[in-house]
Every structure is written in C-alpha cells, then in structure tokens.
Amino acid sequence: MQETPYDFEAGAILLMDKPLTWTSFDVVKKTKFSLRIKKIGHAGTLDPLASGLLILCTGKFTKRIEEIQAQEKEYTGTFVLGHTTPSFDLETEIDSTAPTDHLTEEMLREATNSFLGEIDQTPPIYSAVKINGERAYALARRGEEAEIKSKRITIKQFELTSIAGNQVAFKVVCSKGTYIRSLARDFGLKLGCGAYLSKLVRTRIGEYRLEDAMSLEQLQELREKQLAHHDRHPGA
C-alpha cells in the first residue's frame, strides 16, 4: 500500500483489496461512510466470491470510471475439474460429476490454446447481465430459464500455473466483459469433464496492481492520519 496524500472529496483513485464475500457495492458503501464523501463509484464489479483489486473513484475522478473499466484485467484462481455447478462457481451446489483420471497435463495445457484471442463467450445465468430489464441472477434464483446472448471478448493469456489432481491453478489476462466463471465452464466442456471456479483473485486492471491496494481498515487509518495532520497544521 502506498501512502499517497489523497483529496477524497475533490477526487481520488483508490485501489482497494476487496474481501471475500463482500459485494463491490459493500466496498463502495463502507468507503463512502468511512470517508464521509458524497460522490463515489467503482470501476468494474467483482463477484462476492472473488477477491482482489477493486478500483474506486471519488469526486472528479468518477468521470474516469468508464476509461478504467475498459482496460485489460488480470486474474489468478483455481478451477475444479470433473464437477459442475449451475452458477459455475461455489454459489450453488454441484449438479454433475465426471471422471478426470484420463486427463494428462498435456491435454489440459493444449485445451487452453483454443481460448486465446477473440472468442465468443456466453455470460453465466447467475450474473448481473440484464434480460428485459431484470438482472439474470434474479431470474436464476427464482428457477426461471432465460437466454443470454454471447459476446465477443479477448483472452490475451491463459496459463495453467499448477495442476494438483483435479485442482488447476491459472492466470488469465483478458478484455473487459470476460467472465472467468464462463471460462471455467467452457474449459470443462472442452475437456469433456466439466469444471467450476473455486477461487478467483483480480490482480491487475491496466497498470493498477493489487500489491498497491489497501484494505478498508488501512484506508480509515490513512484518513485519520490526514485529519490529525490537518488539525496540527490547519494551513498545510
């Protein structure tokens, strides 16, 4: 974390490390309350079951949200092969199982190649995509079926960083709009055994990196230091 002097009200770009289970809106809401600022938004949603870099923009920098959202993203995480879930992650229970003993490391690494470059990807039904004005996940949780249109995305890098049984760790560099949960599903389909996403961390957005991010507690501490400094040096 870099202790940069921020003018939170006038405008700042804040690199936050989103905790597991928090929604992106939770981070925005808690930061807004903590800093006592009016104008704040985030530049790219992270699912509650994902952690890592979430960029918040305050004040005049809210105008840069779309620009930041458009930059490429980098993720690390883990796929579980041989099982599927309706949400493609741990939000829902396993609904199918298939053998994986026949899969070799060579087969796994070869399968990643078919996802490189521009591809069509269908977002998960358990996602914030809007269908006739309603979020897809709301329909899914009511047990309703809906058709989600595929969209063109770009995967610049898809690398398997370790393989331990049916647990496959990966690193992905991709364009805006890529769903790593959908990549898990499609990777499992390619291998013929199914897969779901068990862990996801966003490590980079453009040039902004997770190692420079801070927790909400660190942000509060930084804010308190600034207020204390201002009290001691009112004209500074």
Q: What is the CATH number of the domain that holds 149?
A: 3.30.2350.10
- pLDDT level of residue 229 (50, 70, 90 thresholds): low
Q: Which residues make beta-bridge pairs with 59?
A: 11
47 is catalytic: yes
What average pLDDT does the structure give for the chain? Answer: 90
Give the span between the Cα atoms of 138 and 143, in whole angstroms: 9
Pairing of strands 195-205, 73-81: antiparallel
Better-predicted residue by pLDDT, 227 or 69: 69
Percent of the chain with pLDDT over 90: 75
Nearest to 188 by CA among 79, 39, 36: 79
Tell me: do 46 and 134 sit in the same domain.
no
Q: What pLDDT, on a 0 to 100 scale, did the predictor assign at position 135? A: 76
Q: 2 pLDDT exceeds 50?
A: no
Tell me: do 131 and 200 sit in the same domain.
yes
The residue segments making up the domain with residue 201 are 73-205
* Residue range 27-44, pLDDT digits in tens: 999 999 988 899 999 999
* Residue range 209-218, pLDDT digits in tens: 999 999 999 9
- pLDDT level of residue 136 (50, 70, 90 thresholds): confident
For the segment 105-122, the average pLDDT, to the nearest whole number, is 97
Give the span between the Cα atoms of 71 and 49, in whole angstroms: 22
Q: Which residue has the tokens 């800093």?
A: 35
Tell me: do 85 and 184 sit in the same domain.
yes
- pLDDT level of residue 224 (50, 70, 90 thresholds): confident
- pLDDT level of residue 4 (50, 70, 90 thresholds): low
Q: 147 pLDDT exceeds 80?
A: no
Give the span between the Cα atoms of 50 and 202, in whole angstroms: 8
Give the span between the Cα atoms of 230 and 55, in whole angstroms: 26
Q: Which of 17, 47, 89, 186 is catalytic?
A: 47
Q: Tell me if 60 sits within 8 A of 10, measured CB to CB.
A: yes
Within a domain: residue 37? yes
Q: What pLDDT, on a 0 to 100 scale, did the predictor assign at position 80? A: 98
Tell me: do 98 and 168 sit in the same domain.
yes
pTM of the model: 0.90
Q: 236 pLDDT exceeds 80?
A: no
Q: Tell me if 213 sits within 8 A of 16, measured CB to CB.
A: yes
For the segment 99-122, the average pLDDT, to the nearest whole number, is 97
Tell me: do 199 and 212 sit in the same domain.
no
Tell me: do 95 and 199 sit in the same domain.
yes
Give the span between the Cα atoms of 105 and 125, in whole angstroms: 30
Q: 3-state DSSP call for residue 174?
A: strand
Tell me: do 114 and 173 sit in the same domain.
yes
- pLDDT level of residue 234 (50, 70, 90 thresholds): low
Q: What pLDDT, on a 0 to 100 scale, did the predictor assign at position 1? A: 46
Overall domain count for the chain: 2
Lowest mean pLDDT among 13-17, 32-36, 220-224: 220-224
- pLDDT level of residue 232 (50, 70, 90 thresholds): low
Within a domain: residue 190? yes
Within a domain: residue 1? no
